[in-house]
Chain A
Amino acid sequence: MGDIKEEDWNLPPCKYEYLDHTADIQLHAWGDTLSEAFEQCANAMFHYMTEVDYIEMKESYDVEVEGHDMMSLLYNFLDELLFIFSAEPNYIARKVQITEFDKTAFKIKAKGFGEEFQLGKHPQGTEVKAITFSNMQIHENENKYIMKTAWKIKN
């Protein structure tokens, strides 16, 4: 885990919403760049698991993921973040920033800004069990990027 610099304190605007689905949660996120839309997806996931205002940006955490196409890259990106939350180091991020995005080789390097999840400090939200490809969509419209992913909550 790394340090946090002053310029990292800026928080991104909220560009996501949770949509209806019977058993699970579907996420709709958007951004001016593909990278921003990816970041929003990541933020939305962490914010679903706790209340965002309680996450302190104490240390940064680096992740690197790859995919074989854009959808699998998004899937692997969220899956990796879910994993660092669910297992050691139980890391929860207030914001996630993509530092390198290779759109041809489908590789991402990203940095999370947050801390270790602690009961008592962080209110418990809803548990995300898994990321799915269910109804996953990535669209580009007039330089706006829109994406949808679904998360397993039940069964």
Chain B
Amino acid sequence: MVVRQYKEELEYLEKKTPYKWEIKKGFQPNMKVEGVFYVNEVLEKLMLDELQNACRPGMIGGFLPGVKQIANVAALPGIVHKSIGLPDVHSGYGFAIGNMAAFDMDDPESIVSPGGVGFDINCGVRLLRTNLFEKDVQPVKEQLAQSMFDHIPVGVGSKGIIPMNANDLEEALEMGMDWSLREGYAWAEDKEHCEENGRMLNADSSKVSMRARKRGLPQLGTLGAGNHYAEIQIVDEVYDKWAAKKMGIENVGQVCVMIHSGSRGFGHQVATDALLEMEKAMKRDQIEVNDRQLACARINSNEGQNYLKSMSAAANFAWVNRSSMTFLARQAFAKQFKLTPDDLDMHVIYDVSHNIAKMEQHYVDGKLKKLLVHRKGSTRAFPPYHPLIPVDYQLTGQPVLIGGTMGTCSYVLTGTEQGMNETFGSTCHGAGRALSRAKSRRNIDYNDVLEKLQQQGIAIRVASPKLVMEEAPESYKNVTDVVNTCHKAGISKKTVKLRPIAVIKG
């Protein structure tokens, strides 16, 4: 890492518009393209404070600030366009969380990096609608929250309740949501409203280690812990009535269910396995990177291909996982209201992936190119008329689901043409942490958090008390700041705001 004074560092950063900063080449060694990050005034301060902290003497060898990580990614072989930080960007493993980077697939030097996808492969958000309104749910809110908590296994050490054996897992890894559909856990329409139709075709379960399968098998159909949650939400504001209507959201007060989860231990193990394998490949192919955490392999190497195939299997795992929980949430609602999920119109509005690498076509300097787009803590946001988005959303643009944190709002955005050009159709994914977990545990009081939630009228069921502090809204950046920045910068458009009335967490 280059060691410079904070003032010298600032010379490499330039505010291009009120919502966009550029990181010039030279900020970190070997930058092949420029970096960019989107922030408003509030988020800008967080971002620069983090950099200033890292510049203090004696901080050498500590964790890299997000800006530095964006710049390090800009130095990876084969990167095109720019290394982009979204408004919720914060320091992560190798790549910052909230980072998009695309690599030219026709360049033999181009790489794929597990750090650019994240440990929780295909972590994502799914939104279900209902035809219920707030007045139907408020009186039974506590019972409904309890019922969801009883139905969906959450937290450390919980096990899935959908019967699975090793053979089922094998098929689920290859088939993704087609498996859920065949087994009766998903509806045919669910698939249409899911990125990639809930199935990565290049998944190859034979590339997945035994360790990953063993960790994955008991955890399929579990929510997990950390920032994952299932929430009952109320439509709070509609910014674009027409687009909302296309999503089946008729009016303020309508009840929705949001599920935020990923590929559980399975994905973590796939990432761990790949990182170890790639360290060796880097030595062999003499790939130089600025940070050891940016372990990567050439896309066309054995290691690169193996990772893409096993990552796809993990992506399928995550879709099956979210589908299984959708099934359980539908059951919980059906039992409470004594109506079938069909009668309750519990359709999937959309399902996004915010930790994934995908092969996509984009224009680079006016030429159509095949790229491997890494989105880590970043959501795909394709504009209207894009061939890869469902028929129902052809006119509105792809719905983008932004999950808030415990007790805060969530948003539905839509993709824009400007986003397609500037960020290859990528936008933010959530709030993004501001405080460390250890600090949250020390400084935030358990009872304060619960009391505050209660005052807001939010029912909460959480498996781990410690998590309440770690996940308190104060530990995160303000999701409204994040979403407004994306909206004002034009990389996606606000459509609907949702507020939680019940939270189920690990």
Contact = CB atoms under 8 A, between A and B. Distances in A.
Interface in A113-135: 117-119, 122-127, 129-135
Interface in A24-57: 24-26, 49-50
B292 A152 contact: no
B26 interface: no
Contact of B437 (A24, A131, A132, A134): A24
A86 B118 contact: no
A117 B157 contact: yes
Contacts of B470: 126
B465 to A, nearest CB: 7
Contacts of A90: 157, 218
Interface in B426-450: 433-439, 441
B263 to A, nearest CB: 10
B436 A130 contact: no
Contacts of B272: 79, 130-131
B506 interface: yes
Interface residues of A, number: 39
A154 B61 CA distance: 21
Interface stretch (A3-11, A13-21, A104-112): A13-21
B227 to A, nearest CB: 6
Given A49-B157, A155-B376, A22 B63 contact: yes
A76 to B, nearest CB: 10
A153 B436 CA distance: 11
B85 interface: no
Interface in B142-196: 155-158
A87 B209 CA distance: 13
B157 A130 contact: no
Contact-size category for B: 35 or more
B461 to A, nearest CB: 12
A152 B292 CA distance: 16
Contacts of A133: 292-293
Most buried by B among A85, A118, A129, A133: A129
Nearest to A25: B437
Contact of A155 (B97, B214, B219, B436): B97
Given A125-B466, A152-B93, A155-B123, A87 B225 contact: no
A125 B468 CA distance: 11
Contacts of B500: none
B226 interface: yes
A152 to B, nearest CB: 5
Contacts of A153: 226, 437
Interface string B484-506: 00000000000000000000001
Contacts of A154: 97, 120, 226-227, 433
A83 interface: yes
Contact of A127 (B97, B226, B441): B226
Contacts of B58: none
A26 B61 CA distance: 14
A87 to B, nearest CB: 4
B62 interface: yes
Contacts of A117: 156-157
A142 interface: no
Contacts of B434: 22
A46 to B, nearest CB: 11
Nearest to B121: A155
A77 to B, nearest CB: 14
A124 B97 contact: no
Contacts of A20: 436, 438-439
Interface in B108-134: 118-120, 123
Interface in B67-108: 90-93, 97
B374 interface: no
B377 interface: yes
Contacts of B92: 23, 155
Contact of A87 (B63, B119, B211): B211
A67 B372 CA distance: 33
B214 to A, nearest CB: 4
B292 A155 contact: no
A88 interface: yes
Contacts of B323: none
Given A123-B464, A155-B118, A88 B436 contact: no
A21 B438 contact: yes
B120 A124 contact: no
B268 interface: yes
A122 B157 CA distance: 9
A129 B120 contact: yes
Interface of B: 61-63, 90-93, 97, 118-120, 123, 155-158, 211, 214-215, 217-219, 224-227, 265, 268-269, 271-272, 292-293, 355, 376-377, 433-439, 441, 463-467, 470, 506
Interface of A: 18-26, 49-50, 79, 83, 85-88, 90, 92, 117-119, 122-127, 129-135, 152-155
Please provide the 3 A-B residue pairs with the shortest distance between their CB atoms, ordered closest to farther: A127-B225, A124-B155, A87-B214
27 contacts: A19-B438, A20-B436, A20-B438, A22-B435, A23-B91, A23-B437, A24-B437, A25-B438, A79-B272, A83-B211, A86-B265, A87-B211, A88-B218, A90-B157, A117-B156, A123-B465, A124-B156, A124-B464, A126-B225, A130-B269, A133-B292, A133-B293, A134-B293, A135-B63, A152-B93, A154-B227, A155-B377
Given A129-B120, A129-B226, 5 more contacts: A18-B438, A21-B63, A23-B97, A23-B437, A127-B506
